[in-house]
Amino acid sequence: MFKQLEQKIKKKSAIVGVIGLGYVGLPLATGFGDEGFKVIGIDISKKKVDLVNSGKSDIDDVSGKQVFDLVKNKKLKATTNFASLKQIDCVCLCVPTPLSKSKDPDVSFILNAIEQVKKYLHPGQLVVLESTTYPGTTDELILPILETTGLKVGKDFFLAFSPERVDPGNPRYKIKNTPRVVGGITPLCTEIAKLFYEQIIVEVIPMSSTKSAEMVKLLENTFRGVNIGLVNEVALMCDRLKIDVWEIIDAASSKPFGFMKFYPGPGLGGHCIPIDPHYLSWKLKSLNYYARFIELAGDINSHMPEYVTERIARVLNERKKSLKSAEILVLGAAYKKDVSDVRESPALDVMRLLEQREAKVSYNDPYVLEVSMNGYTLKSRRLTSKLLKKADCVVILTDHKSYDYFWIVKNSKLIFDARNATKDVKVGRKKIVKL
């Protein structure tokens, strides 16, 4: 089975299946398609499937032309029918792994996908989980399900974990030039999975086990979450000390060793950094270990929207204006600059908190045309000098590059800048208050 699959992969005759065509799955599917593989994308959303089959993309990092060309050349097709797994040689699971309200891992999407894979599992098939999850998921949860078929891992089929490393909106690092780690249940599983990813990725790093590969992704995002928590707390300290946190960070980063620059902000957003550390924390609790750094950083980061709201209220109050009934214009609803992704966006949390304080909130975001707010839909306003001048406070929550910050400052009465987006604006500094 190994030799047969190895030859198929090397000859690019292996059919690749991607379950989940979101921010992770669609770039992966198009990546393999661009390298000459036939790819079948499977998604439970008919709307998503129809979009892909019509040659369109709803993912920032995948162009419509790329999808259109692959569909036209019959290198990519999408379906809601899991029976397509019968003909697939290598299947990648790219499904969501959210947290429950109690911060426990929700692996229901993984389990639902694996049940479908089990139905159509056949000899010579490679199954790879890419969804971020807690250490032990692949060998403790997925393997027993697949082996109920009577097929043996490492002999009849191959099972591995390779965490996605997508950074939406990053112009430099894409799938091809971002190194991958991969860990299999057996050495042969690791070897065949490594060969598979080497077809589209420059560097693939083999791990000793699936559990080690799962831990790598959690370390990466916990590292970021904890360090962002640190600089957010430093921002709170600097507020009380009446000094500029941005100046402090820039000066500290001049040291050529022993310091890595992180910036504070209105909170954490995206699907990974606010969520992944809790997977590790949850797993360690089952082993009677309390992950103190993770819990503390999570507490600080999760309360940043409240701090930002309070700062805005204070800034207005200092200018003899109440937050209640104040006209607040928010710039940026996406969780990071130059993307349309609003998952876990702290900007939405700040907007909700401002509304709860009875402020009149409107927003502009060139990438996000509408958002769900407190039970209704709020649409992005066209950014004009009139809109800026009308606002009692313009709040910058996402620092999109397309914004003309000189023009924004010129036409605004007051700006609260949570991202240091106005750092290069020299005129009108008295209007600007920074996080």
Please state the rounded mean pLDDT for residues 344-361.
Answer: 96
Give residues with Cβ within 8 angstroms of 113, minimum separation 6. Answer: 19, 20, 93, 95
**Residue 53 scores a pLDDT above 80:** yes
Beta-bridged to residue 38, according to DSSP, are 15
Q: What's the full length of the chain, in residues?
A: 435
Residue type, 157: F
Q: What is the dihedral of CA 126, 132, 138, 144, to 10 degrees?
A: -100
Task: Report pLDDT for 347.
Answer: 96
Q: Does domain 2-218 have CATH number 3.40.50.720?
A: yes
Please state the rounded mean pLDDT for residues 11-27.
Answer: 96
Q: How far apart are CA 347 and CA 328, in angstroms?
A: 13
Task: Report pLDDT for 102.
Answer: 67
Q: How far apart are CA 233 and CA 239, in angstroms?
A: 10
Task: Report pLDDT for 374.
Answer: 78
Strand ranges inside 306-380, DSSP E: 327-331, 360-364, 370-373, 376-379
Residue type, 71: V
What pLDDT, in 10s, does the model give residues 285-319? 888 988 888 889 989 999 999 999 999 999 999 99
User: Does residue 344 sit in helix, strand or coil?
Assistant: coil
CB atoms within 10 A of CB 349: 20
Give residues with Cβ within 8 angstroms of 117, minimum separation 6. Answer: 19, 85, 91, 93, 127, 146
Task: Report pLDDT for 124.
Answer: 96
Please state the rounded mean pLDDT for residues 120-130.
Answer: 97
Q: How far apart are CA 224 and CA 374, in angstroms?
A: 30
Task: Report pLDDT for 29.
Answer: 97
Catalytic status, residue 238: no
What pLDDT, in 10s, does the model give residues 177-211? 999 999 999 999 999 999 999 999 999 999 999 99
Q: How far apart are CA 432 and CA 435, in angstroms?
A: 10
The DSSP element (H or E) to which 170 belongs, if any, is none
Please state the rounded mean pLDDT for residues 382-399.
Answer: 98
Tell me the percentage of the chain whose pLDDT exceeds 90: 85
**Reported confidence tier of residue 168, pLDDT bands at 50, 70, 90:** confident
Of 183, 128, 186, 112, which Cα lies nearest the Cα of 152? 186
The yes-or-no answer to whether 2-218 and 244-434 have a common fold is yes
Please state the rounded mean pLDDT for residues 46-67.
Answer: 95
CB atoms within 10 A of CB 25: 25
Q: How far apart are CA 422 and CA 352, in angstroms?
A: 24
**Residue 28 scores a pLDDT above 80:** yes
Q: How far apart are CA 70 and CA 78, in angstroms?
A: 11
Instruction: Please give the DSSP secondary-structure letter assigned to residue 147.
Output: G
Task: Report pLDDT for 418.
Answer: 97
Does residue 144 contact residue 108 with C-beta atoms inside 8 Å? Answer: no
Of 112, 169, 106, 153, which Cα lies nearest the Cα of 132? 106
Q: Given the residues 94, 189, 238, 272, select the one marked as catalytic.
A: 272
Write the class of the CATH domain 244-434.
Answer: alpha beta
- Cα–Cα distances (Å) from 207 to 162, 184, 189, in that order, read 10, 8, 11
Question: At CA 331, angle to CA 326 and CA 333, rounded to 5?
Answer: 110
pLDDT, averaged across the chain: 94
Does residue 16 contact residue 47 with C-beta atoms inside 8 Å? Answer: no
Task: Report pLDDT for 276.
Answer: 79
Does residue 75 contact residue 52 with C-beta atoms inside 8 Å? Answer: no
Q: How far apart are CA 184 and CA 160, in angstroms?
A: 4
Domain ranges of the chain: 2-218, 244-434
What pLDDT, in 10s, does the model give residues 232-278? 999 999 999 999 999 999 999 999 999 999 999 999 887 777 777 88
**Residue 101 scores a pLDDT above 80:** no
